[in-house]
Amino acid sequence: MANSLQKIIYKVSNLIPSLFIFSIISYIFLHSTLILALSLLLALIFLFCFLGSFLYGNKHLARMKVNTLSLTKIDSNKFHYIMQVITGFIPLLKFFSNDIITDYIPLIYMLLIFLSAIFPSNFSYQNILLSLIGYNFYSCDFSTGVQGNILITRRNIRNSKDVMFVKRLFENMFIEVIE
């Protein structure tokens, strides 16, 4: 199972596309190469941390045989799209505010990023990066009696009995092992 740092990396990785958009928009409107460089650097650090953590966990976690009772596909999370829109508009605050607020725009944005990583919520389970590379998310119940598990898989599953082996990423998050 993953530790707290890996959970934070998993949650913060949802905001990597927002960081890329923020860096480009802020460069265009604020003409700040410092914000561009810092945002891109932070996004790349989060990306490499996430990929390293996910690939390590996918390779080294123990495989478990499960009996899946129910399986429901989770629709794409609208939080990601809302964050992309908000991210695009943050640099535009420069045109509607004075210089004092403009100086704090990067700080406000970074605060939003870290607050989203600290507070637990449902959007943090469906990772936008995994969605982009073809992973699907399902809500499932196993025969162990624990409900509300999240299953991550590359396939489109139609029957709950098709899921035979999984690896536990977090307390209630599993990734399917395809043989």
Of the CA atoms within 13 Å of residue 128, those in its CB half-sphere come to 18
Confidence category of residue 88, pLDDT binned at 50, 70, 90? low
Confidence category of residue 76, pLDDT binned at 50, 70, 90? low
Q: Are strands 149-153 and 63-65 parallel, antiparallel or unpaired?
A: unpaired
**pLDDT tens, residue by residue, 58-75:** 888 888 888 888 888 887
**pLDDT tens, residue by residue, 96-107:** 566 656 666 666
The predicted structure's pLDDT at residue 114:
63
Is pLDDT at 123 greater than 60 in this prediction?
Answer: no
Is pLDDT at 19 greater than 60 in this prediction?
Answer: yes
The predicted structure's pLDDT at residue 126:
77
Is pLDDT at 94 greater than 70 in this prediction?
Answer: no
The predicted structure's pLDDT at residue 54:
84
Mean of the pLDDT values across residues 99-125?
A: 62
What one-character-per-residue DSSP string does 92-154 give?
GGGGGS-HHHHHTHHHHHHHHHHHHHHS--GGGTS-HHHHHTT-EEEEEEETTS---EEEEES
CB proximity list for 135: less than 8 A, separation 6 or greater: 127, 152, 153, 154
Confidence category of residue 134, pLDDT binned at 50, 70, 90? confident
The predicted structure's pLDDT at residue 78:
60
Is pLDDT at 48 greater than 90 in this prediction?
Answer: yes
Confidence category of residue 95, pLDDT binned at 50, 70, 90? low
